[in-house]
Amino acid sequence: MPKLTVQLMLFILLTCFLIVTKPITALAANQVNFTIGSRQYTVNGQRFNMDVAPYIKNGRTFLPVRYVATALGIPESGIIWDNKERAVKLVTSELEATLFIGKKEMLLKKSQATQSGSFSVVTMDVSPEITNDRTMLPLRWIAEVFGVQVDWEASTSTVYLSTLPDESSDVSNPQLLAVVTGSVVNIRSGPDLTADIITTVKQGTTLTICGQEGDWYQIIYSGKKGYIAASLVSIQKPVQPSRGSSGSDNGTSTSAIKGKLIVIDPGHGGTDPGAIGVTGLKEKDFNLDVALRLSQLLNRLGAKVVMTRTEDVYIPLEERPAVANKLGADVFVSIHANASTNPQANGTTTYYHVNTTDSLPASLSKASAQLAECVQQALVQTLQLNDQGSKTDPGKGFVVLRESQVPAILIEAAFLSNKSDEALLKKDDFREKVAEGIMTGLIEYFSESRSSK
């Protein structure tokens, strides 16, 4: 897919779609099951037939749009197709999700929102497609956006969709994190010891809580939902007061980030691999993976996220900060991994640019320095790596920072040139921690900015 230009992104964010397709009958369902390759599906145990069977592509289950709507309980009036833009919109009383054929960006908007620009962008790992004249959508991504739990049974190739637990309780709060206290703990597909094990996590792993069922927390890990026993985790806020906090409520809740427009820049890409690790890891691949994880975390907190790239493509340096400048973003975050001729160099660094001309206000440099300090401290606390500090960019400055007209930072998560650091950079749980650390630093920055006004 060609890179998404600034003009196209702006067009997508402002476009509304008004053409209605042929109505279908949607069912208010609590449990819907689909089996790969079968045209039969069940709703609360009752069998129905489809005209097209679901299939798996690139590790994702694809279903025709009408059956996705059925599974989500979306009414017949809630499917809107725009033939010109090759886009389909799924609408409920609370949420609108717009998906574009061949594009990985899903545009979300609160249905009841009255303020201009109340949107967010979720970047999927696959894109909707047309197969045999049917619009096929990636089921899991859409189901989770609409708050429906998705489980998978490998032995029968069956997908199970069910309504998530009530998320109105105090623990069903994206401000809460679960830190694993057991040495090795199972994440299961349901709130029971007999439920399938999805994966295992080690002591110290941080998980986002999105619900509770009895003695189990429903959590999000690596973009997936699961359950973990409450007795095996400790609960904490994602941000701890720091740098001389008075102990009062300093606004460090995730509400500070809600509605903020954040541009995420995965460094390098395409023909530019960036640094190469001691065992061959390409910096561009690490950067993109962490950026996608961060995008998901921020979207869940209500931030508006735009990425300079969502796949392995080359984007000129000058075009990256231009995205943030033209959109009037609140911050610009460029994600990288470091390298040095000294193989012993290790740790985490966050760079910012100090303006030495009169072209930009001094307040911009101050805001960038504050942003860098917040993110650096959060990363060091989360990753427990050597603190290389928050620093001004060397020489004339990094282009992506120097050309930015909004508060901007460049993160060097760890050293690809260091054997131990590179081993961490390869791991999914470490990449998730990097994303969580950046998220925590951003929350702290926006909280401090709000309290200082």
Catalytic site residues? 412
**Contact assessment for residue 137 and residue 99, using Cβ atoms and an 8 Å cutoff:** yes
**Contact assessment for residue 421 and residue 414, using Cβ atoms and an 8 Å cutoff:** yes
Paired tokens of 126: 């696959």
**Contact assessment for residue 48 and residue 41, using Cβ atoms and an 8 Å cutoff:** yes
3-state secondary structure of 299: helix
Helix (H) and strand (E) counts in the chain: 9, 27
How far is the C-alpha of 292 from the C-alpha of 295, rounded, in Å? Answer: 5
Of 26, 194, 54, residue with least CA distance to 134: 54
What is the enclosing helix (H) or strand (E) of 434?
A: helix 428-451
Amino acid identity, position 59:
G
Paired tokens of 251: 């606004």
Paired tokens of 143: 């189901």
Instruction: Count how many residues are written for the chain.
Output: 453
How far is the C-alpha of 208 from the C-alpha of 186, rounded, in Å? Answer: 15
How far is the C-alpha of 3 from the C-alpha of 234, rounded, in Å? Answer: 42
Question: Parallel, antiparallel, or unpaired: how do β-strands 304-307 and 261-266 relate?
Answer: parallel
**Contact assessment for residue 236 and residue 280, using Cβ atoms and an 8 Å cutoff:** no
Tell me phi and psi for residue 38, to 5 degrees.
-110, 140
Of 237, 240, 234, 236, residue with least CA distance to 180: 234
38 vs 1, 42, 54, 67, CA distance in Å? 31, 11, 7, 13
In sequence order, the 6+-apart residues with CB closer than 8 A to the CB of 61 are 34, 36, 54, 55, 138, 139, 140, 159
In sequence order, the 6+-apart residues with CB closer than 8 A to the CB of 12 are 100, 105, 107
Paired tokens of 8: 């196209």
Paired tokens of 161: 């969709």
Q: Count CA within 13 A, CB hemisphere, residue 149.
A: 21
**Contact assessment for residue 293 and residue 432, using Cβ atoms and an 8 Å cutoff:** yes
